[in-house]
Structure 1
Amino acid sequence: MGSSVVDLGPRLAAVLAVLTALAAVGGRLSGLGQDRPVVVAALRATVQLAVVSALLLAVVRSLPLSVAFVLLMVGVAAATAAGRVTGLPVRAAGAPRRVAAAALPVLAGAVPVVALVLASGAVPLRGEAVIPVAGILVGGAMTATSLAGRRLREELTGRRGEVEAALALGLQRRDAVLEVARPAAATALVPGLDQTRTVGLVTLPGAFVGVLLGGGSPLEAGAAQLLVLIGLLATQVTAVWAVTELIARGRLLPDVPC
């Protein structure tokens, strides 16, 4: 196996096909209706990773190209989060405004953490280091934004009467929405908190394994993983805070009570 976690070849392709089929069949038989989305997601991931792997061979050698690639990540993350938060497809009217609004919590969460780890020298300013670290943090910000925003949309829809009652009592819109929104938004932090609390006991995440496979010591692997996990916590807390404020101010969900 060398330095790889898996053996490349026909057996891997067969296993991936079987796993996709199992997930799709489970999505159909369970009544969840997720059989087609599972297949589409698996096919997209295969194509995207093949293309990205080829691109990275050239991109990581150039810092400007690496920065451009990170910006592409941010754009895709913002578009994905906008769809999850609003429940509207990218092609729906007003998409640029929604994507721009969703980009704010993604950037607010990821940029300060990326800037800190690079400025401190904890992560070298090289493409092969910048892209994976930025990708993890941007992905974490996207996930937190999507989870918090979607949960807030559901909560505000179900408890609209409470928000309107608070408005009738004289509360400002932001304050009325936040009374409902904050506890709901906090649930978006549960996965990150659980992952951090149980690291090394339940899972050995990718950064840890990657450093070990690259020849680093267990101590170096642990330090790298700790940086990623705590960086993700800071990223996700900020992203959830930002998306909650945007929704409370009516900047992201147009149907928030006025």
Structure 2
Amino acid sequence: MNPIITLVAVLVLAAITLGIVLALKLEHPWLQPWAIARAVVQLGILSVILNGVISDGRWVAVFLAVMVIAATWVIFRRLQLKSRYLPFIVGTVAVSSVVPLTVVFVVGAIDFSPRYLLAVGGIIIGNAMTVSTLMGRTLGSTYLAQRDEMEAWLSLGATPRRSALRAVRFAASTALIPSTDQTRTTGIVTLPGAFVGAVFAGASPLEAAQFQVIVLAAILAAGSLTVASFTWIFGAPALLPLDEQPLGGSRATVHAAR
């Protein structure tokens, strides 16, 4: 592929995105073009680094650890969490990623090599980050929408966790929708990157399909672990929001504990 043509295509697509976002007056209109610019720079750096990393298991482990830290920071900033939640978020991303990876490599579904560890691990960590952000944001807004119902449960003597049960289930289900839909429509609506990449790398369509199914199953397992962790951490709120805010925001709240 010609890098100049690639850059031109990216710039045109970024301009289209910015124009639509500005026309609709969405929040933070420069966020999407900035994300594209960051992706260009980061992928450029990544392609250089991987030449010396992809064959060394130790460096792959370091790289995956950096991914976990970066994902944690994105979740932390996006949800406006307090610093005391950082260890929980790190643990959520790490455990949600390690468990599916362990299953995949222990049973021998994918050869245990630095190359595959980095590829599959990066995909799973990224999806765990997305599920965390979706559940956190949905849970914050749902607590506000269902505050009256939750207060009614509390007035009847229910625990905070019981009063929040419906809100938590809705947030968890919503957070899993993208991964679930991607899995359900694979091969019909979408051709996922892992499948296409494997085919381009020389694998047969059958081998690529096997690899993709494993990746999709691992993504769903990681997402399930992620929402379970968020349910445990944030599923029994001691405070209920008085206005719209991301989970963990610092604006006015009312005590939920009774």
Name 1:4's counterpart in structure 2.
none
Instruction: Show the counterpart of 2:248.
Output: 253
Which residue identity lines up with residue 248 of structure 2 in the other structure? Answer: L
Structure 1 Cα separation of the partners of residues 171 and 54 of structure 2? 39
Q: Which runs of 5+ in 2 are unaligned?
A: 239-246
Q: CA deviation at 1:179?
A: 3.0
Which residue of structure 2 lines up, in the alignment, with residue 241 of structure 1? 228
* 1:1-258 equivalence runs, <5 A: 7-84=1-78, 86-87=79-80, 94-95=82-83, 97-250=84-237, 253=248, 257-258=256-257
Q: Is the 8 A contact 1:26 1:35 kept in 2?
A: no
Q: Cα deviations across residues 101-150 of structure 1 (Å, max 9, x unaligned)? A: 22233223211101111222222222211011001111111111111111
Q: Which amino acid aligns with 1:140?
A: N
Unaligned ranges ≥5, structure 1: 1-6, 89-93
Contact 1:149–1:244 under 8 Å retained in 2: no
CA shift at 1:250, angstroms? 4.5
Q: Secondary structure at the match of 1:216?
A: coil
Aligned length, in residue pairs: 245
Structure 1 residues 184, 168: CA separation in 2 closer, same or farther (over 3 Å shift)?
same
Letter in 1 for 2:159: Q
The 1:257–1:83 alpha-carbon spacing in structure 2 relative to 1, beyond 3 Å, is: farther
Q: Which amino acid aligns with 1:71?
A: A
Looking at structure 1, the residues matched to 20 and 218 of structure 2 have their Cα atoms a distance apart, in angstroms, of: 35
Q: CA deviation at 1:11?
A: 1.1
Partners of 2:66 and 2:211 lie apart in 1 by 25
Q: What one-letter code is carried by the residue in structure 2 that aligns with 1:206?
A: G
Q: State how far apart, in whole Å, the 2-side matches of 1:155 and 1:109 are.
A: 24
Taking the aligned partners of 2:93 and 2:55, their CA distance within structure 1 comes to 26
Please list every run of at least 4 consecutive aligned residues from structure 1 whose deviation after the TM superposition is greater than 3 angstroms: 249-256
Kindly report the root-mean-square deviation, in angstroms, between the aligned alpha carbons of the 2 structures: 1.9
Relative to the length of structure 1, the TM-score reads 0.88
* Separation in 1, partners of 2:91, 2:155: 30
> Aligned AA for 1:253?
G
Distance 2:180 2:222 in 1: 12
